[in-house]
Structure 1
Amino acid sequence: MSHRLNLLAPEVRANPYPYYAELRRSAPVCQVDPGGIWAVSRYDDVALVLKNAELFSAKGGRIALLPPWLDRNPMVDSILLMDPPEHTKARAIVSRAFSTRVIPRIEPLLRAAGRGFVERLTPGCELDFCAELAVPIPATAIADLLGLDPALRAHFKRWTAAFVAIAAATPEMREGIRTTIVELEQYLREVIAARRAAPRDDLVSELLAARIDGVALTEPEIVSFLFLLLAAGFETTTHLLNAAMKIFTDHPEVYARVRADPALVPAFIEEVLRFEPSAHIAIRHVKADVEIRGVKLPAGTLVAALISSANRDEQVFPDPDRFDLDRERQVGLSFGYGAHFCLGAALARAEAKIGIEVLTSLPGRFEWAGRAPEWNISLTLRGLKECWVRYVL
């Protein structure tokens, strides 16, 4: 590659995979923009960075969440940016929210959201699938987990879109992001106050009752947990469902196969996760000088683990740019690896399964509605901002 790749360039955001393939071939460890951050693009190297907290600290994500123009973001104090042993203790508390009892409890609510989508469909109608189903399903799940009003789902989308865009925000976007953070923090503090007065069967009440080494969590710590769970539990699943619709629309033969054989739904979801992962890049801080593939990464620098590139590494996934329902399962990195493996992976798969089952139960099919796909603005997450399709019989 004759020039330094800019991960946020519009052409890269639109289709990063040819650029990542070139990195894997010619410069698997190199500096990229923004900021000259080091990038690793091959599967083995990305896995090494993600699993080795002794060398690569999760605190490196602060660059994406707290740039110089932003004086406050509660998410930087969340488990997302913690290393063991602090991360281990904090994770044990939050993991209770994702126990096996959660999915059966919320499944009826998710299926109700799916029925509402089906009832609104008419032959020939054009709709934004993102707003009609890809947002309502995870919004319903997160609202139930946190005990929030599901009617606020439009706010969920606005809130989360703001703080995943922080690292790539233009000067014009910055004041809106600051305002959004203040608004969300105020709302969550009101929820916490309400649960102190009247505990309920939800995660906020559990966090208020939780203890780490016998010490209760502070209100700022609880707020940081909730910021993360709202973002991680909402934005990523929305992108997963939008990616599934994109695959069905781009590859009608895949849609036909999955519709004819519902047993293929789990394999379809796994291939979507590999092919178009929502968690696109993970940022880590290099704690000590380290060498990868003969390239020295100095202590104190930042490294971008290109998860989406690793998921298309030819050494692990044969013919990686082909969406293959029959692909032999490999361990993809879409939910992370090591200590920071996504707590909500099982819940995200369950939400996606319900969404896919809704789509494959329909008598018609979907096609693009003539609007070019527009990708979100984020250094770490990648997904469609809208997903306009036409339903045809």
Structure 2
Amino acid sequence: MSRLNLFSPEVRENPYPFYAALRRESPVCQVDPGGMWVVTRYDDIVAALKNTQVFSSAGLRVASEPPHLQRHNPLSDSLILADPPRHSQLRNLIGRAFTASTVGALEPQMRSKAARLVAEMLQRRTVDFIPDFAYRAQVNVLVQLLGFDPSLQDDFQRWTTDILSIAAISPEDHRRLGEVRSTIDEMERYMRDLLASRRRKPGNDLVSDLLRSRVNDSVLTDEELLGFLFLLFVAGLETAVTLMTHMALILARLPAWMDRLRAEPALVPHFIEESLRFEPPVHATMRLTLAETELAGVRLPAHAVVALLVGAGLRDEAKFHDPERFHPERRAQASLAFGHGAHFCLGALLARAHARVVLEELLPRCRRLELRAERLAWNVSLNTRCPLALPIEVTPT
């Protein structure tokens, strides 16, 4: 039997029947591309995430900085690609600036921007939700959070696309490699200038907070700061846009939930949690085995690339009743959507708050979101699963 290819069009369009078959028959197995290993059951994914001594994040730095890139990528210095104890040290320093009060201070601006974007959608009626709403809403958050220059909005998408494409670029594609190297140069120059500016004149933003952050007289180095800014910018933009896009798609496909949420606003947080479970913004997280190990009765060799398929784990029948049904009243907490243990996402609180604000501004003004495409095209990525476009018609209340 041929191996499943995670990048095949039929899998990208609807991976969940394939995941269910893997959970039943081969919960830990090899797939294409490249013969990587996948883990599909909830408890096995959690076990791997907890075992940082064997399932390494640092071992996958080569994915963000392959030899043929011929340039250092600051993302490689970020905490997402670090193992304990270095990961713990970085997280302690960064986490002190990434607090509930930071998120609370952002909410008025998030709400104001969401209201303006909803008004624009209602005026136009038919839009592509991704660039017209989700992307612009999240760029506004990053501008407020980090103090980025809003006039660079058109560059942000290119920066994100280029950084996320690095692992998929072949050594022979000299044109794309050159473009990505130029993007890294541009991003690094901008962010180093931003750090220098905040040192001279601190502002009311996360960058200034990070520069002030200290734990036991330790401070973040410039390389650590730069790595975190790269991570927060790229991951923060991609995952939040994906979450908002899936919420809109769910509302378009299940319109009765728009009426329910308007009638019962207390269900909004549960709708968000079920959206995170049903279509997690981080669809898979990657690890590298540092030694031979066993998982679910399967021997994994040392130096094996392992994809922990969060999207499969969050539909595990052993963990969730009737998992293929979208059912916010199940009251499930989809924390696995933001990682687990040492690598639980620092931005989870912000992502949930922004999703709530978006729904609170959208639902009172919009009666229906109607999908205006017979079939959606999907991105090709191991980490995220998102439509390339989401054309919708917006009907006012």
1:219 aligned to 217, 222, 226, which one?
Answer: 222
Structure 2 portions without partners, runs of 5+: none
Q: Which amino acid aligns with 1:16?
A: P
Question: For the structure 1 residues 267 and 239, does the alpha-carbon distance in structure 2 shift closer, same or farther, using more than 3 Å as the test?
Answer: same
Q: Which amino acid aligns with 2:32?
A: D
Question: For the structure 1 residues 322 and 382, does the alpha-carbon distance in structure 2 shift closer, same or farther, using more than 3 Å as the test?
Answer: same
SS at match of 1:291: strand
Question: For the structure 1 residues 216 and 328, does the alpha-carbon distance in structure 2 shift closer, same or farther, using more than 3 Å as the test?
Answer: closer
State how far apart, in whole Å, the 2-side matches of 1:160 and 1:277 are.
Answer: 19
Question: 1:184-218 CA distances to partner (integer Å, 9 max, x unpaired)?
Answer: 11111121121222222222223333446645433
The answer to whether 1:243 aligns with 2:246 is yes
1:24-63 matches, within 5 Å, as 24-63=23-62
1:347-386 matches, within 5 Å, as 347-370=350-373, 372-386=375-389
Question: 1:240-299 CA distances to partner (integer Å, 9 max, x unpaired)?
Answer: 000000000011112221122111100100000000011111111112221112211112
TM-score when scaled to structure 2? 0.93
1:176-215 matches, within 5 Å, as 176-211=179-214, 214-215=217-218
Q: Once structures 1 and 2 are overlaid, which stretch shifts more, 255-264 or 223-232? A: 255-264
Question: For the structure 1 residues 132 and 96, does the alpha-carbon distance in structure 2 shift closer, same or farther, using more than 3 Å as the test?
Answer: farther
Equivalent pairs counted in the alignment come to 392
Residue 12 (structure 1) aligns with: 11
Q: Once structures 1 and 2 are overlaid, which stretch shifts more, 132-141 or 242-251? A: 132-141
Residue 256 (structure 1) aligns with: 259
Q: Which amino acid aligns with 1:135?
A: Y
SS at match of 1:98: coil
TM-score when scaled to structure 1? 0.94
Residue 290 (structure 2) aligns with: 287
Shift of 1:16: 1.3
> For the Cα contact (< 8 Å) 1:123–1:392, is it kept in 2?
no
Q: Which amino acid aligns with 1:166?
A: I
Q: Once structures 1 and 2 are overlaid, which stretch shifts more, 208-217 or 219-228? A: 208-217
Question: For the structure 1 residues 353 and 156, does the alpha-carbon distance in structure 2 shift closer, same or farther, using more than 3 Å as the test?
Answer: same
Q: Which amino acid aligns with 2:55?
A: F
Residue 166 (structure 1) aligns with: 166
Question: 1:224-245 CA distances to partner (integer Å, 9 max, x unpaired)?
Answer: 1100011222211111000000
SS at match of 2:378: coil
State how far apart, in whole Å, the 1-side matches of 2:204 and 2:357 are.
Answer: 24
Q: Which amino acid aligns with 1:87?
A: H
The answer to whether 1:155 aligns with 2:155 is yes
> For the Cα contact (< 8 Å) 2:274–2:334, is it kept in 1?
no
Aligned-residue Cα RMSD (Å) equals: 2.0
Shift of 1:173: 4.2
Q: Which amino acid aligns with 2:312?
A: S
The answer to whether 1:125 aligns with 2:132 is no
Question: For the structure 1 residues 87 and 381, does the alpha-carbon distance in structure 2 shift closer, same or farther, using more than 3 Å as the test?
Answer: same
State how far apart, in whole Å, the 1-side matches of 2:224 and 2:339 are.
Answer: 23
Shift of 1:152: 2.8
Q: Which amino acid aligns with 1:83?
A: D
Question: 1:20-57 CA distances to partner (integer Å, 9 max, x unpaired)?
Answer: 11111111111112221111111111111111112211
Residue 87 (structure 1) aligns with: 87
Q: Once structures 1 and 2 are overlaid, which stretch shifts more, 293-302 or 148-157? A: 148-157
Q: Once structures 1 and 2 are overlaid, which stretch shifts more, 118-127 or 181-190? A: 118-127
Q: Which amino acid aligns with 2:113?
A: A
Question: For the structure 1 residues 203 and 328, does the alpha-carbon distance in structure 2 shift closer, same or farther, using more than 3 Å as the test?
Answer: closer
Q: Which amino acid aligns with 1:290?
A: T
Residue 343 (structure 2) aligns with: 340
> For the Cα contact (< 8 Å) 1:281–1:380, is it kept in 2?
yes
State how far apart, in whole Å, the 2-side matches of 1:205 and 1:104 are.
Answer: 17
> For the Cα contact (< 8 Å) 2:55–2:288, is it kept in 1?
yes
Residue 323 (structure 2) aligns with: 320
State how far apart, in whole Å, the 2-side matches of 1:165 and 1:103 are.
Answer: 29
> For the Cα contact (< 8 Å) 1:166–1:378, is it kept in 2?
no
Q: Which amino acid aligns with 2:243?
A: L
State how far apart, in whole Å, the 2-side matches of 1:309 and 1:202 are.
Answer: 37
Residue 113 (structure 1) aligns with: 113
Q: Which amino acid aligns with 1:61?
A: L
Question: 1:314-350 CA distances to partner (integer Å, 9 max, x unpaired)?
Answer: 1111221111122142554100001000111111000
SS at match of 1:69: helix
Residue 102 (structure 2) aligns with: 102
> For the Cα contact (< 8 Å) 2:90–2:220, is it kept in 1?
no
Shift of 1:158: 2.4
Q: Which amino acid aligns with 1:94?
A: I
Residue 307 (structure 1) aligns with: 310
Q: Which amino acid aligns with 1:230?
A: F
Q: Which amino acid aligns with 1:269?
A: I
State how far apart, in whole Å, the 1-side matches of 2:366 and 2:347 are.
Answer: 32
SS at match of 2:286: strand
State how far apart, in whole Å, the 2-side matches of 1:275 and 1:374 are.
Answer: 19
